Structure 1
């Protein structure tokens, strides 16, 4: 079964809200084996809403629209729907009675405009809500296609999807599941990942592979369709194993877990503590290290030392290093890591410095990252150059430092 989602509301097009409804619905539809092939967003214009429905019905078996079912002048999804279907709106007496009784129970006067919510397309069914005052609509076309229209308020949308729409579609689809598994990789570019997995990508249609790159990380999504979730997962398993074998220790998670949570688990399991001294990331590494539940058992703290004076006076970076290699150097990162370990009495110290941009810093061009790890008998450091704006460079730096820590912990056993 092919589905298309339509988000109605000019506020979506203006960027005033994010259409999170579409994400939630797509996830739920995938769980019952419905293939969502397109998303549309359309403003509060009757003609364009009608066009959106016509387009969706031309290429999908089921259309689900959200928004535009309220009582105000710009709530015109009903009008657009009937224009697309070639039917008329009519006032439904049972909904009118329900609206009047609902307002009476709430002890509030009902505006006459609320009766607009009792208008339904000829031949349709409707969903009476537990929340709100906007009934949902269900229409079937002569070709057997189905249109659901539900409120845009997330809680009301979820109520109708969970209570009516998804059970109906699951019954129509029969036993089916669309399952995705996400493997996460760091320390390698998306293009290199695609190159390493080219034959795997080309030789598999169920499951399919897709890539999503972020600063310092690549997600590999494997998606399979089968009669049940267990069967879909069985299809994914050998391909996932092939991906892990091909990419090796670049894969830090096989179940879509953030790198900081993976690191937190390793620190707990190995009963190690960690501390940091940050310049470039301004506390961002500390935020991520403290994300894991129970972080107080392994994360001692972080010193944000942005200036030369703070690096020297707080953490103990030597004047010789500041005057020589400079604040943006592996030597400085090593002294930051040693200082953090000493200050917080931690098993492992991390040091981060660099030039986030847009200007050069410490004689180094924007995008320069220097990081280090210090532990008993071990000192590791790296310097590299990354592209992007300040936020991207900082994210790259955090990711690389967490990955350095992950690899150290995995090797330490």
Structure 2
């Protein structure tokens, strides 16, 4: 998750420097005492609207900083359930940055299984954050050295390993990752920080640590993986790496650069939770599909497929072409089920026009309208307000371009 100090206290509130619990580490340690754990259990289901009343009541019996820390931790656990599952999140500990930047459990498990398949039995997890990847690796039977330089982050990672019964497989070390000797490990995993004080960092050399350092560390290891932003320019991918883009539930989550896998330089799209994987070596990637008229079916490739530049491979599988040379929609006259794209049956093709769309939807009694756009400046919510869909039926409208012309395609998902 990168080497960035978490500026947020566990409580999420300003603290009194004279209070021993005003120190973030002390406040976190207090949460792990019997009294702190009991308080965490008591506030587990407190919702944001109930926090003020709960805090007022609990401060009659507990120190105010501890109550604030417990309520903030409960809030973080509620947020983390989407990434880690309710069962694990209820037992784990988090920081605000940790919830935001940690790897989703399903993605971490996929990567851990990939390392296991490669024969990795020990791994140095550099920039471990709160330990999300270390947990998945340990559950795959891999011994992990988890390294981060932030004291609070290390304390949280250590607590998570203990809370989930994985402490024997996870050693947490507070250190600068650039100074750690990883030669004794089968593999290295690096997750540089891609956020700063002003938000996301788009320059890979501004990562912490920089991508160039991470690549050098990967090349020194027998096997390695680097987690990077999915929007990384393809020209920034090292020639020695196999690049994998991963989506979960249709949302692109991250990209990974793999080293030492004995695979040729390649691009891969992996779709979770099913695990379907589409790949091509760089020297065998297909040219862009031809542009053709809209057929009976429209295919919307998964975001990981688009990021990996594998749309042409999907087009070949469905015997289709592009609706526009700059738009990643594939069209075909035949239905070819594929895990790499969602298929829609197209019923209407109209030049862009709100009045035309409104009249067609009224005629079709469409009350549930899904608006998708690619290559259009129209905002879905604005369009939905203007057409005011009413009726018992549903439809999907694609605001896009067909052979360069602004176009509306109306249809519905197949299957």
TM-score bucket (shorter structure): 0.3 to 0.5
TM-score, normalization by structure 1: 0.32
Larger Cα Rg: Structure 1 or Structure 2? 1
Structure number with the bigger relative contact order (C-alpha 8 A, sep ≥ 6) is 1
Question: Greater helix percent: which structure?
Answer: 1
TM-score, normalization by structure 2: 0.32
